[in-house]
Amino acid sequence: MIKGRYDDENLKWIPLLIGLVLLIPFALKGMTFSYKYYIYILNTIGIYIILTVGLDLLSGYAGLISLGHAAFMAIGAYTSAILVDQAGLPFMFSLILSPLIAGCFGFIIGFPALRVSGMYLGLTTMGFGFIIRRLIIALREWTQGSAGLVVSPPNIFGFTIKGDWANYFLVWTLAVLVIIGARRIVKSKIGRAFMAIRDSEQAAEASGINLAKYKMFSFFISGSLAGLSGVLMAHTNHFISTDHFDSMLSIYFIIMVLVGGAGTVYGAVLGTLFIVLLDNLFVPELETLLHTMFSIESGEMESFIFGLVMFLFIIFQPTGLYGMWLKMRIYWKLFPFNPKQRFT
């Protein structure tokens, strides 16, 4: 009787997502002979998606802002590099262990989150980022300080994964799994608890939700996912240094989540896609255009465009890209009987 009454229609997108993920590299290969560059960009997007989905669970769902997420990424990356290349553990083992270690750091940073929130939590997590940078430099015996670390390519059951093409499938397999997993989490009691913590701590507590436990858990899971993306980053780029994980990157991640629409998994995915593509494809094109049209020296264009996009989104589209899509869908569903105010 109840069947299909409340089925998660967003899950219908998952076969489409998997289809697209499988199709795009081949389409690119057919379309352009610089496909390797685009696949590399897609790999970066995949790695970032794993992180931003995790960040969305923390900041979008549980409402705990983090401005130090690149640090979790760094922990995952360095831990895996050390475990695989120096301790000789197999990559598959490190793929599971390193994110857990990053998650444990998340657990630790979760303690201050029990006391502070909002801007203060943002500052605390930002400080955590600086501490991790210092820590990496201090442990130079393993990390080679700020000189950076060369990392081996991933080796799965004797097969070495090398090159953008192979990396793509590794990265996106995990990214799709993370997207599906995250949707499962947010549509269960854990997701409801996260949202209740964000919107009404009183209602959450009165409903029997242990605030401390769930806040810590959200930091753990978010840290783990950031760690996972760090592991992939280290092993697909083959080189990591402290400069890879600067605090600007953390802010980029928050921007991705906000632009996509905080509090929706697909929003984080869309936001990441949008920002990375904007950054690597559209801004350079725009720069060249402006350069030829007005001969402007456009070194600062990128940050300018970024600021502008952020500004416009927060003013006009606070629900992000995903919210925009939802409104659009309602608009077309009701077409032509759509009252105008629906689309504002």
| Contact positions vs another protein (CB under 8 A) | 2-3, 5-8, 27, 30-37, 40-41, 44, 137, 144-148, 150, 163, 181, 184-185, 187-190, 192-193, 195-196, 198-200, 202-211, 237-239, 241-244, 246, 249, 263, 280, 297, 299-303
Distance CA 310, CA 333 (A): 29
Query: In angstroms, how far is the first alpha carbon of the chain from the final one?
Result: 37
Please state the closest distance from residue 46 (CB atom) to another protein, in A: 14
Q: Which helix (H) or strand (E) holds 156?
A: strand 155-156
Dihedral over Cα of 283, 238, 143, 55: its sign: positive
Q: Of 112 and 237, which CB lies nearer to another protein in the complex structure?
A: 237
- Asked if the peptide bond before residue 25 counts as cis, ω within 30 degrees of 0, the response is no
Q: In whole angstroms, give the CA distance from residue 179 to residue 168.
A: 16
* Per-residue tokens: 297: 């020296």
Taking the complex as a whole, the smallest distance from the CB of residue 191 to another protein amounts, in Å, to 8
Tell the smallest beta-carbon distance from residue 11 to another protein (Å).
8
DSSP letters, 193-219, are HHHHHHH-HHHHHHTT--HHHHHHHHH
Nearer to another protein, 93 or 255 (CB): 255
Decide whether 17 or 24 has the Cβ nearer to another protein.
Answer: 24
Q: What's the CA gap between 183 and 181, in Å, rounded?
A: 5
**Nearest distance from residue 144's CB to another protein, in Å?**
8
Query: What is the token pair recorded at 313?
Result: 């989104």
Which residue bears the tokens 């069947």? 3
- 3-class DSSP state for residue 237? helix
Least distance to another protein, CB of residue 120, Å: 22
Rg over CA atoms, the chain: 21
Nearer to another protein, 83 or 209 (CB): 209
Between 6 and 337, CB nearer to another protein: 6
CB of 186 to another protein, least distance (A): 10
Nearer to another protein (CB atom), residue 79 or residue 183: 183
* Shortest distance, position 222 Cβ to another protein, whole Å: 18
Question: Between residues 99 and 263, which has the closer beta carbon with respect to another protein?
Answer: 263
**Crossing angle of helices 265-277 and 35-55, rounded to 10°:** 140
